[in-house]
Amino acid sequence: MTAAQVATSAGIQPELALAAIPADERVWVPQADAVWFRPLLLNTVTGGWCNLLRVRRSGVLHRHRHPMAVVGLVIRGRWKYLEHEWTAEEGSFVYEPPGEIHTLTVPADCPEMITFFNIAGAMIYLDERGTQVGYEDVWSKIEMCRAHYARVGLGASYVDQFVR
Ligand SMILES: [Fe+2]
């Protein structure tokens, strides 16, 4: 019996295999000034998501805390956290432990960075005193996608292909 003949469980969720960097610019969802994300997997079962984050020069991903672990892999360009000395370069792997707080910026001499992030749980946005000023979770990411895809003509349901 070959692998293709082994029966899978009934009701199993469909797999995903897609071009991570989309040909259609509209797939990128605006997040902040000069910051976009491209949803890859919006996981409503575990409560987390995988996406590409794209930040162009002068873009800043606002200070936030991760209550759960994050891993990332830099695909293009480079970036740094204001709170750390190191710079994540193209090809770098990054692990962000639960409790980590940081603010992502792109160096002035780097026109664009794209990084794959696998984010568990949520992102808790903080002001300069550490007080919560907002949050994102898989449900708010889905809503952002729905609103954007409706606005750009792909249709709100375009996001459904990334939801599990
Ligand atoms: Fe982060």
What is the average pLDDT across 86-95? 98
- Contact of 43 with 73, CB cutoff 8 Å: no
List pLDDT tens digits, range 44-54: 999 999 999 99
Report the separation in Å between the CA atom of 119 and the middle of ligand 1, taken as the mean of its atom positions.
8
Report the separation in Å between the CA atom of 7 and the middle of ligand 1, taken as the mean of its atom positions.
39
Report the separation in Å between the CA atom of 107 and the middle of ligand 1, taken as the mean of its atom positions.
17
Report the separation in Å between the CA atom of 26 and the middle of ligand 1, taken as the mean of its atom positions.
24
Cα separation values, 31 from 26, 55, 61, 69, Å: 13, 10, 9, 21
What is the average pLDDT across 76-96? 97
| pTM of the predicted structure, to 2 decimals | 0.94
Q: Is the pLDDT of residue 16 over 90?
A: yes
pLDDT band at 156; cut points 50, 70, 90? very high
Residue 3 pLDDT: 67
